[in-house]
Amino acid sequence: MRRLLFSVSASLVCLGLVPGCTTLPAPRPEPRTLPASTATGRGGAAATVDVRATSAALEVLRSGGNAIDAAVAAASVLGVTDPYSCGIGGGGFLVAWLARDQRVVTLDHRETAPAGLERSRLYEKGVPLPFEEFVTSGLSVGVPGALMGWSEALRLYGSRPLADVLQPAIRVAEQGFEVDATFHEQTRHNVERFRDFTSSAALFLGPDGQPWPVGATFRNPGLARTYRLVAQGGAPAFYRGELAQAIVSTVTQPPLAPGASRPVRPGVMRLEDLERYEALVRPPVTSTYRGYTLYGMGAPGSGGVTLALTLNLLEAQAPASLSRAEFLHRYLEASRLAFADRNAFLGDPAFVSVPEAGLLSREYAARRGAMLDGARASTSAVAPGNPLPFQGAARAVLPRVPEVARPAAEEQAPNKETTHITTSDAAGNIATYTCTIEGEGGNGMVVPGYGFLLNNELTDFDLPATVDAPHPNAPAPGKRPRSSMSPLLVFKDGAPVLALGSPGGATIITTVGQTLVNHLDFGMPIEQALAAPRVSQRNSPDHRSQAEPAFLASPEAAALGELGHGFTNVGPIGALTAIRFHPDGTVTAAAEPTRRGGGSAMVVEPVK
């Protein structure tokens, strides 16, 4: 998330004993040095968006914990320090390499639509609800999966109990941390929403109804209490009992402030929805690219398949002899084609038949790649292909994809929610973990007394133009929305080479893809590949790619313009973290040097 700013203590700016900011008797946070965005060494490593989360991961690794333990520790701290991006009110995808077993595992703990959610509730007079009203409502909240994901990850693959792993987060929540410019700015983005909910205002705003200033010490005793409850009672303490009841009450009876005029629709979540929630172990999506083997997340994740299809198209259509601009042209056009297929075919596999084998087949990539013009950019959105003949399916007729009245929230401009954690340990285990509450600040509602925001994950569903139209990512009771989260592992000759992932909505996929191209094709060291200017093409209707200012100023952008590419300046894209595994046994952990204020990378035994 950012570099720490050391300024006045909150004890000098707080006027009363309120959640979020406390008076003089509360302990000051422990001072820390500014984080480094790259570290090389041995014995384990971690990279996150925040120095306190990375420090927690290193604390666990140094005490004998493994990479999965460290990832959960980091995630729980980010629930304190980066609460507008992630937390136990949300969910995530974990991809892990288990060195002893020599296998890759994935754990889906995506949020799930309540059993009582009827699609008609998301429409009014036949038209989808206004997007902002959908976001800030009880209807947008999916059953949270994060805590179940942490619990199952530790039970199946970890070496430490949840109670131990949560201790760093409890400490940070109680002692607090100094508000930096990123935290202050994210609060400012949400201030109007937070004022409308008593619990959110009490935690995130000062007595004057304004965000806590940069330099203030932010504390979250409610979240510390929540973490202690689940440390003692495990996942059942979250999915049953007082915590579950508090979540349901917040969803069905939003804690509106007196005088709030915002229309806030209640949700339909029940205790049974929480009691029935499951984290699911799924097979990884496996693909190859130029001699490397890639392992990603399968459906309802879309990142693994979309990235694999993009790279299959690129490998077939982009020989190494091309100039960088020519290569990027083919990369953007391949991404355009892959996203057309993603939007047409991918969804929760419990509800739709996902033609994964067809989409991943080399034969399909060759057929689909014939559409790619090596000399000119597409001037409009492209239609999906037909992977069904390559699926081995009896029926090879392409189903009609209905018009979407409102695409999922993640299809829009790059956003500042979600976060990614990458960890490794001395035994060779690796965790690449993306977690989220969907939008920046989720649905805007803090569960009263428990210190965490709820997600607005159900806005990741696509809403067809008509209520009853079929669509692979249309809402349904018990369904998991399609996600772009793309935790990824890259291997060469059976050995790990790279672990990486990023936040950023649908730009997650293109951020991971471009970083791979920078590293594997252009030969950039991982820290340079990660920091390089970014561009994102996701089959946009106006054919334009979204790009960072630094990319727009590059020679490649000018050359691409000559090929017919157009660009939209959208500011920073993504916030990637990665670990590179070197042949000599050392690793390089890397985080963003500047995006989102800069991230933090550490190793257990630095190499000087």
Q: Give me the active site residues, please.
A: 418
Nearest to 322 by CA among 333, 308, 307, 338: 333
Burial classification of residue 394, based on how many CB atoms lie within 10 Å of its CB (0-12 exposed, 13-18 middle, 19 or more buried): exposed
Print burial letters for 112-142: b (CB count within 10 Å at least 16), e (below 16).
bbbeebebeebbeeeebbeeebbbbbbbbbb
> How far, in Å, CA of 365 to CA of 481, rounded?
26
> How far, in Å, CA of 443 to CA of 196, rounded?
12
Sign, CA dihedral 175-228-502-461, equals negative
> How far, in Å, CA of 376 to CA of 350, rounded?
39
Three-state DSSP state, 98:
strand
424 annotated as a binding-site residue: no
Distances (CA, A) of 166 to 69, 97, 147, 230, 329: 10, 22, 11, 9, 46
460 annotated as a binding-site residue: yes
How many helices and strands in the chain, by DSSP H and E?
20, 22
Whether residue 24 contacts residue 11, with contact meaning beta carbons closer than 8 Å, is answered with: yes
Identity at 475, one-letter amino acid code: P
Enumerate the β-bridge partners of residue 500.
488, 578
536 annotated as a binding-site residue: no
- The token duo for 443 is 């649905």
Binding-site annotation: residue ranges for L-glutamate: 110, 460, 483-484, 505
